[in-house]
Amino acid sequence: MKLLTTAFAFSLLLCTMQHGIARTISQEQNAKHLNKPMLPALLAFGDSIFDSGNNNQLQTMLRSDFLPYGEDFITHRPTGRFCNGRIPTDFIVSKLGIKELLPAYLSTNLSNEDLITGVSFASGGTGFDPITSQLAAAIPMTEQLEMFKKYREKVKGILGKRGATELLAQSAYLIVGGSNDLASPYFSSPLRSSRYDSSSYADFLLHSASSFIQELIQLGARKIGIVGIPPIGCVPSQRTLQGGFARGCASIQNEVAQIYNSRLTKKVEEIKKRHQNTTLVHLDIYAFLFDMIEHPTKYGFEVSYIGCCGTGLLEAALLCNPMTLTVCTNVSRYIFWDSFHPTEKAYSVLVNYIYENYFHLLVS
Is 338 an active-site residue? Answer: yes
CA distances from 262 to 82, 225, 274 (A): 28, 16, 20
Q: Return the C-alpha torsion angle 119, 257, 239, 331, nearest 10.
A: -30
Element (H, E) at 21: helix 2-32
Is 200 an active-site residue? Answer: no
> Taking Cα atoms as reference points, which of 131, 238, 136 lies closest to residue 183?
238
CA 184 and chain centroid, separation: 16
Count of C-beta atoms within a 10 Å radius of residue 250? 25
Please tell me which residue in 26, 48, 52, 64 is annotated as part of the active site.
48
Element (H, E) at 45: strand 42-46
Cis preceding-peptide flag for 68 (omega within 30 of 0): yes
Give the integer Cα–Cα distance in Å for 79 and 19.
10
Structural contact between residues 55 and 188, judged by C-beta atoms closer than 8 angstroms: no
Measure the N-to-C terminal CA separation of the chain; round to a whole number of Å.
50
Give the integer Cα–Cα distance in Å for 346 and 286.
14
Structural contact between residues 176 and 122, judged by C-beta atoms closer than 8 angstroms: yes
Is 341 an active-site residue? Answer: yes
DSSP 77: S
Give the integer Cα–Cα distance in Å for 219 and 297.
44
303 three-state secondary structure: strand
Output the 3-class SS for 174-241.
EEECCHHHHHHHHCCCHHHHCCCCHHHHHHHHHHHHHHHHHHHHHCCCCEEEEECCCCHHHCHHHHHH
Please tell me which residue in 65, 114, 129, 338 is annotated as part of the active site.
338
Please tell me which residue in 47, 65, 107, 341 is annotated as part of the active site.
341
Q: Which residues are catalytic?
A: 48, 338, 341
